[in-house]
Structure 1
Amino acid sequence: MLCAVYKTRKKAGMYLYVPGKEAFDEVPEVLMSQFGKPQLVMLVALDKHDTLAGIEKDVVKNSLIEKGFYLQMPPKEEDLLSVHRKAQGLSPYVDEKR
């Protein structure tokens, strides 16, 4: 199965997988409006890969078959200040009562 991967300028790390080049027919209109103008990143033969960007190929493939698209969201960003405060033995959140 051939898969087209698109990125958006609106959110770094967000990618839209569709079952072919410019095959956006099954993608909900609200998602397309929030995604913005898709920019083609690559065409991928799913059968030649076990994972795509850390995602199991079967997850992508099943979503393409069932929904007609797969949306990859960016990983959640870690709050580095909270991590540092915990390492110092402090509460992870800054006390705003000063």
Structure 2
Amino acid sequence: MKQHLIVEVFRSSKHDGMYLYVEKKTGLKEIPEELMKRFGAGISAMTMLLTKEQKLARANTEKVIKGIRETGFYLQLPPVKDEYLLDLYKTPTEAVY
């Protein structure tokens, strides 16, 4: 089995940092409807030749290829925010002059 794919990467119109990798020739037409409702409109971010030796910023290349081959897509979720950053939004702040 060849270890490369021509992949199109779509970014979510609803969630920053969420990306959907699909085989270029298939596009988004075989993505489950429920996933597309949550993902929103797919905005094409790039097309690339993906090989198993290639490094991706936030995804394991072999898992991306395996996901596309087995399910027709690979969903990359946004990075988890550090808990202390989330606490900043919960803590009331007071302006001091």
TM-score (norm 2): 0.75
Unaligned runs of 5+ in 1: 85-93
Going from structure 1 to structure 2, the CA distance change for 1:48 and 1:61 (only over 3 Å counts) comes to closer
* Structure 1 outlier segments of 4+, above 3 Å: 81-84
The yes-or-no answer on 1:38 pairing with 2:39 is no
Q: Given the two structures, how large is their TM-score scaled by the length of structure 1? A: 0.74
The residue correspondences of 1:1-80 to structure 2 (distance < 5 A) are 1-20=5-24, 23-47=27-51, 50-80=54-84
Shift of 1:82: 7.9
Query: How many residues are paired up?
Result: 85
Which blocks of at least 5 consecutive residues in structure 2 are unaligned? Answer: 92-97
Distance 2:52 2:66 in 1: 16
What percentage of aligned pairs have identical amino acids?
Answer: 36
Q: CA RMSD in A?
A: 2.4
Give the C-alpha shift of residue 26 in structure 1: 2.8
Q: Highest Rg: 1 or 2? A: 1
